């Protein structure tokens, strides 16, 4: 079982609470591969009545049809919601435009008061590794914030400036307290929101295999040179087969990590772990 909520996560929520009144808008980042599982319910509570923009990141790694379904889902709930690929250099400009549009009344009101250049302030929050710093770097058009492909890169809050019109507050990733749902934990681990050292890679790999054989069957077969017969094996036996096929003999833990990293790099194909239909069925 994954150990949740180290002390610095509590501190991050507290810091968010302390700073939210300084900003005009909250960027709430969720991972497009698991938009529902990566929502932090604390953010809504703490943001109170600040405008919020839900941003589904890493859309390039997610199933585009399901991403569209999630965007519709969030819009129906009254959120402003968009999806982005922060590797794309046009993303910064796009976000700036969306934000100005969302805040147009506020900007017009400050113009009426004779303030020609209202500085828009935003705070960016989300689970670790969701792409907060990468997105903000795109908006400010330089590598102002450190980024890295592991959970927990940003350690403290940092203001970034984009010209004289935007000020952006980057924050450390937040995982929320009392999260006991094993499936959610597996999804967050597979997509990289949880430090790799604190979960069992074979558990997460088995979860991934079970998902991919249903949803990315061809990608799985191709990546690991599997046969139709192999696809009849149990998840555990399939993992052992993959371990052999990638030349790792019986080191299935190392093979598990390979499978996890391959899926994060998109080598098995785009995928989305959370389904809108399933959520609708539950409610
Ligand atoms: N493919 C893809 N990769 C992305 C995208 N956005 C971010 N990344 C990658 O995801 C990894 C994490 O990005 P960061 O910006 O450091 O994430 P963060 O949310 O700031 O993470 P913490 O500071 O650890 O909470 C990096 O390797 C980025 O290159 C995206 O839209 N698409
Ligand atoms: Mg960061």
Contact 205, 239 (CB under 8 A): yes
Instruction: State residue 54's pLDDT score.
Output: 97
Q: From the CA of 32, how far away is ligand 1's center (Å)?
A: 12
Q: What angle do CA 65, 68, 73 make, to 5 degrees?
A: 130
141 shares a domain with 247: no
Residue 121 lies in a domain: yes
Number of domains into which the chain is organized? 2
CA distance 141 to 189: 30
118 shares a domain with 33: yes
Which 8-state DSSP code applies to residue 30?
E
**Any idea what the CATH number is for the domain that residue 146 is in?**
3.40.50.300
36 shares a domain with 166: yes
Question: Which residue's CA is the closest to the ligand 1 atom numbered 26?
Answer: 149
Instruction: State residue 265's pLDDT score.
Output: 97
Query: Of 151, 170, 189, which residue constitutes the final position of a domain?
Result: 170
Contact 136, 171 (CB under 8 A): no
C-alpha distances in angstroms, 68 versus 34, 72, 74, 170?
13, 6, 10, 27
75 shares a domain with 158: yes
Q: From the CA of 217, how far away is ligand 2's center (Å)?
A: 33
232 shares a domain with 94: no
149 shares a domain with 211: no
Place of tokens 């379904």: 69
pTM for the predicted model, two decimal places: 0.95
Percent of the residues in the chain that have a pLDDT greater than 90, as a whole number: 74
- Name the residue of 31, 64, 134 to mutate for ligand 1: max ligand atoms within 8 A of Cβ: 134
pLDDT lower than 50: segments of the chain? 1
147-195 pLDDT tens trace: 999 988 988 889 999 888 899 999 999 887 556 688 999 999 999 999 8
Query: Of 170, 185, 217, which residue constitutes the final position of a domain?
Result: 170
SS3 220: helix
156 shares a domain with 206: no
* Domain extent for 233: 200-278
90 shares a domain with 13: yes
Question: Which residue's CA is the closest to the ligand 1 atom numbered 30?
Answer: 58
Question: Which residue's CA is the closest to the ligand 1 atom numbered 23?
Answer: 154
For the four alpha carbons of 59, 60, 65 and 68, in that order, the dihedral sign comes to: positive
């Amino acid at each position: 079982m994954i150990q949740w909520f180290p002390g610095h996560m509590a501190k991050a929520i507290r810091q968010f609470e302390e700073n939210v009144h300084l900003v005009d808008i909250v960027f709430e980042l969720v991972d497009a591969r698991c938009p529902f599982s990566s929502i932090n319910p604390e953010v809504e509570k703490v943001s109170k009545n600040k405008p919020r923009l839900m941003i589904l990141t890493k859309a390039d790694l997610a199933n585009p049809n399901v991403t569209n379904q999630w965007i519709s889902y969030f819009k129906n709930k009254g959120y402003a919601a968009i999806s982005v690929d922060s590797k794309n250099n046009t993303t910064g400009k796009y976000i700036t435009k969306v934000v100005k549009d969302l805040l147009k009344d506020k900007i017009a009101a400050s113009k009426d008061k004779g303030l020609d250049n209202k500085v828009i302030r935003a705070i960016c929050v989300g689970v670790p590794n969701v792409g907060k710093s990468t997105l903000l770097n795109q908006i400010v058009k330089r590598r102002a914030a450190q980024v890295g492909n592991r959970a927990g890169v940003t350690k403290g809050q940092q203001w970034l400036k984009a010209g004289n019109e935007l000020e952006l507050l980057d924050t450390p990733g937040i995982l929320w307290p009392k999260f006991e749902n094993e499936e959610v934990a597996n999804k967050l681990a597979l997509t990289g929101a949880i430090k790799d050292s604190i979960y069992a890679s074979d558990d997460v790999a088995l979860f991934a295999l079970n998902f991919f054989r249903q949803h990315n069957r061809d990608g799985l077969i191709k990546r690991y040179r599997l046969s139709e017969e192999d696809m009849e094996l149990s998840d555990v036996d399939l993992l052992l087969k993959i371990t052999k096929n990638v030349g790792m003999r019986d080191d299935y833990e190392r093979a598990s990590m390979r499978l996890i990293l391959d899926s994060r790099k998109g080598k098995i194909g785009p995928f989305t772990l959370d389904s809108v239909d399933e959520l609708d069925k539950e409610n």
